Amino acid sequence: MRIAVLSDVHANYHALEATLAAVDAEGADEVWCLGDTVGYGPRPNRCCAIVRERAAICLAGNHDLAVTGALSIEEFNGEAAAAAQWTREVIEPEARAFLESLAPSGARRGVELFHGSPIDPVWDYVLSEQAAYASFQATDAPLVLVGHSHVPLAISWRDGELGGGIATAGEEVDLSAPRWILNPGSVGQPRGGDPRAAWLLIDEEAARATFRRTPYAVELTQAEIRERGLPDGLAARLALGQ
């Protein structure tokens, strides 16, 4: 089984389409989605429809929960709050029902999935060694997948020691090592200076995971953000990968 792990699509239809074309070209058997399908971006309804159709499992992220009303928009600041408010206004019943059906954590094929982390599946960021250590202590799953930070990450736990860190494009991880926390990065709002959509391909038989990057037409999503009157900073950052 080969699994494409996507996260933080953030209503970026052009990034999602390009990523799924790359996923299909690889012949992946399943797509898993770690949440934040909406928020920030201009195409929430279309992205919900595609993810609902394509993903074998999909989590709820903090932005999804803000749109359904499970979280207050007051918990978000600036551009995130403005985009969440706009998304609440335009979300259609089918997409809303899809988002309402999701949970921020899940499990599939022996792998544990969290939008944030095992410590707090909605809000916690695994971005430090301390956070990774706490997450490894909170579960005994050999493989843990997280999203939320938009930064691709591969952290290992072997003989009581942490290893790894930020994952670069093309980096390959040997999953036969004892334990891993992997973050695929973000499809729809990549951070860390690379504007290409980020995702992860897991090959179960080969016990290997590869960090992938897929270019897409950033300017098309930027135009949609501006057409809808969303904050311009949300368009600008896509070209920078920040």
Q: In terms of CB distance, is 7 or 135 closer to Zn ion?
A: 7
CB of 60 to Zn ion, least distance (A): 11
SS3 114: strand
Q: Write down the least CB distance from residue 235 to Zn ion, Å.
A: 17
- In the complex, least distance from residue 215 CB atom to Zn ion, rounded to whole angstroms: 20
> What's the min distance (Å) between Cβ of 150 and Zn ion?
6
Considering beta carbons, is residue 10 or 175 the nearer one to Zn ion? Answer: 10
Q: Which residue has the tokens 């979300």?
A: 91
3-state helix, strand, coil split of the chain in percent (to 5) is 35, 25, 40
Spatial separation of the C-alpha atoms in residues 9 and 87, rounded to whole Å: 14
Q: Which is nearer to Zn ion, 12 or 45 (CB)?
A: 12
Q: Which is nearer to Zn ion, 146 or 175 (CB)?
A: 146
Query: Residue 163 to residues 46, 57, 155, 157, 179: CA-CA distances in angstroms?
Result: 39, 28, 6, 6, 10
Q: Count CB atoms within 10 A of the CB of residue 153.
A: 21
Distance CA 182, CA 166 (A): 10
Which residue's Cβ lies closest to Zn ion? 36
Of the pair 40, 157, the CB lying nearest Zn ion is at 40
Complex with Zn ion: residue 8 or 124, whichever CB lies closer: 8
Chain-centre distance for alpha carbon 151: 9
Query: Both tokens of residue 138?
Result: 């909170």
The pair phi, psi for residue 13, each rounded to 5°, is -65, -40
Task: Name the 3-class secondary structure at 95.
Answer: helix
Cα end-to-end span (Å), the chain: 33
Question: CB of residue 70 vs Zn ion: minimum separation in angstroms?
Answer: 16
Provide the β-strand partners of residue 143: 180
Q: Minimum distance from CB of 94 to Zn ion (Å)?
A: 22
CB nearer to Zn ion: give 76 or 180. 76
**Binding residues for Zn ion (CB under 5 A):** 8, 36
Nearest approach in angstroms of CB 36 to Zn ion is 4
